[in-house]
Amino acid sequence: MRFSGGVIPAGAEDPVEEEENVEYDFHQDIARSSFADMLHDHDRNQKYYRGIRAAVGRVKARGEPVIVLDIGTGTGLLSMMAVTAGADLCYAVEVFKPMAQAARRIVDRNGFSDKIKIINKHSTEVTVGACGDMRSRANVLITELFDTELIGEGALPSYEHAHAHLMRAECEAVPHRARVYAQLVQCERLWSWAHLRPLSVGPSQLLPYRALDSCAGSHAVCDVQMSQVPPHSFTALSPRLTAFTVDFSKAVSSEPQTHRCRFVAQCSGQAQVVLSWWDICMDPDDSIVCSMAPSWTYEDPSSAPWRDHWMQSVYFLPEQSAVTQGEELCVSVSHDDYSLWYSLQPGPAPRPSCTCLAHVVWNRPRFGELNDQSRTERFVRALRQVLRQDSVCLSVSDGSLLPLFAHVLGAEKVFSVESFRMSRQVIEQLLEANDLSGRVELLEGQPEQLSRDDLQGLQVSVLMAEPYFSSSLLPWHSLWFWYCRTALAAHLRPDAVVLPRSASLHVAAVEFENLWRIRAPCGTCEGFDVTAMDEMVQRSLDFRESREAEPHSLWEYPCRALTASSAVMTFDFTRCVPQEPVSSRGSLSFTRSGRCHGVVMWMEYELTEGVTVSGGLAAPVGEQGQCQWSPHQKQAVFFLSPPQDTPADGATQLSYTFTFEPSLRDIHMDFNILPAQ
């Protein structure tokens, strides 16, 4: 069985002609979308189906013909459920043209084209009347307009318009209502994603600047698989609160609102983070509820349905504040038409926005990485090994603290290339906050553009990087450092140290607990033929000659390693990038039985002899194959299609070929699952 894939790292030229770029992005959006996850969400589908049957029954009981409006129909699945339940006519609205085309094919294949009309428009553009898209207003409103934050896909404006222009005054809605829940917690792990902590560098300590310490941060929602944030990692300061409720069967307002939740603190601690999720009630009696609650809220956590299209949200307070057990407090949630934010003040709070620039320069995993004291200590240990009193250091990472480390540890001269203005401003403020202004020279432009004058006529003795580049998506995109090192060769002393001195690409074949669902074929869903979705995705995959690896934060997605982890390619940064392609071939035996869903890949860096940093496994693989992944970086996943059952008898192997194409800055990969030779 053969699987192939490749990627083009940041900075490389796309071989697709410029006029095809829009089409290519469009096809890749389809190929990478997670429609399958939603269609495989049996809990969601069954509860929608029950709610639709009940709503259709209530309208029929009033003696009315059932006219359904399905906004955001996607595959047309909910409309087909409605017709099966007895609806007389469905108007299925879908703004995304390829999806609307797929919905037409699905509806036709299932024999519902006479009762379901697909409308390829945004719902706010739909008209009613003899010459309109709808002949009459509807009396059943079905929607699936929700995201992790509930309202982030524009649900409120869409409902507001639908009730005003497309629905009858007396109508049924599925879902009938939604409830948003919140819990105030102290969680140092999550808090480290939004605020920079003081860092110990040898005997010294680097401090964040004041604006960063009190910044409200990014307003963008932080969505996570909260089931993977165990309760023992946080202290619950409040009970689970009902933040607010939206009744979808009545007129809905998209105007900004603030809702208040008063409570008595159930223990003392630091108020840092609000955990939030929602549920949707499919009927007026709340007898059919689809919940997004994390698994640890269930009496039996294993019974919690898994889904990736809807997760849970983490909201960071602007500053942490002390809470005393028994204290009366108020959590306020405000929202506009697209987003939520929380505060501890009773009145409306302004929408958070970053004023310190750091939350624009560093994403949340990057904050966590910078706050990882263990990782900092590895870099400090490596720098201590290579720095001399006369060392001239040059850093080429984006928004890195390595230049500050090098100066504190005694380097004579430190230069840092900061290609982006805001990144440079963040580092300038950190230097000022630690009385290091002027001690580190910040250089503008790209590393390959540096001149002898930029370096004040000095030769570099230590070229360093984490390496971290803000444009990187997949682990090997950091090989950009190798190209920078090659371009800077003329500026290096003959005995210059390059840190890290090498990188290695590691792989392991895995069985995912649930992540495989996002790429599983749709086939049939709740008895309906939705194979047109598989065909659309396949055409998008075929647009390129090969499939690609995808970036995923695997700490959120449990898996078992079925093979040992192994380094399959090594990149020697002490030498320049080779001009000819470099290939690596080999195989890994399956040492554990299971269903192989894909191959995980990550980079590990050898900073100096004996000092390494991993962007993949954070600990050795467990006896049963359990994997603990670094939470700071995304790993690459190549999904096998189809997955394959593999015994642990040594008779089956994962055969691989990797080829690094220097001229394209591309890594091509090829996999076979074969009997052992």
In the set 13, 17, 153, 432, the catalytic residue is 153
Examine the residue annotation and report whether 144 is marked as an active-site residue of this protein.
yes
Q: Rounded distance, CA 46 to CA 54, Å?
A: 12
Q: Which of 20, 23, 94, 144 is catalytic?
A: 144
Beta-strand pair 116-119/89-93: parallel
Classify each residue of 627-660 as buried b or exposed e, where b means 16 or more C-beta atoms within 10 Å of its C-beta.
bebbbbbbbbbbbbbebbebeeeeebbbbbebbb
The 10 Å Cβ neighbour count of residue 24 is 15
At residue 512, the 3 state secondary structure works out as strand
Q: Are 608 and 383 in contact (CB under 8 A)?
A: no
Rg over CA atoms, the chain: 27
Which residue type occupies 34?
A: S
Q: Are 669 and 589 in contact (CB under 8 A)?
A: no
Q: What is the C-alpha to C-alpha distance for residues 529 and 520, in angstroms, rounded to an integer?
A: 15
Strands 312-323 and 269-281: antiparallel
E-strand spans in 351-501? 392-395, 413-417, 440-443, 460-464, 492-499
* Short-list 102, 163, 157, 112, CA closest to 138: 163
E strand intervals along 488-633: 492-499, 502-512, 524-525, 528-529, 550-552, 559-561, 566-572, 582-589, 594-608, 611-614
Q: Cα–Cα distance between 476 and 479 in angstroms, integer?
A: 6
First-last CA distance in the chain? 15
**Is 311 in contact with 148 (CB distance < 8 Å)?**
yes
CA quadruple 231, 237, 239, 245: dihedral, nearest 10? -100
Task: Give strand ranges (E) for 72-220.
Answer: 89-93, 116-119, 138-143, 167-174, 177-186, 199-201, 204-206
Do residues 470 and 361 lie in contact, with contact meaning Cβ atoms separated by under 8 Å? yes
**Cα separation of 201 and 410, whole Å?**
11
Helix (H, G, I), strand (E, B) or coil at 385: helix
Cα 588 to Cα 597: distance, rounded to the nearest angstrom: 15
The answer to whether 188 is a known catalytic residue is no
Looking at the annotation, which residues are catalytic? 144, 153
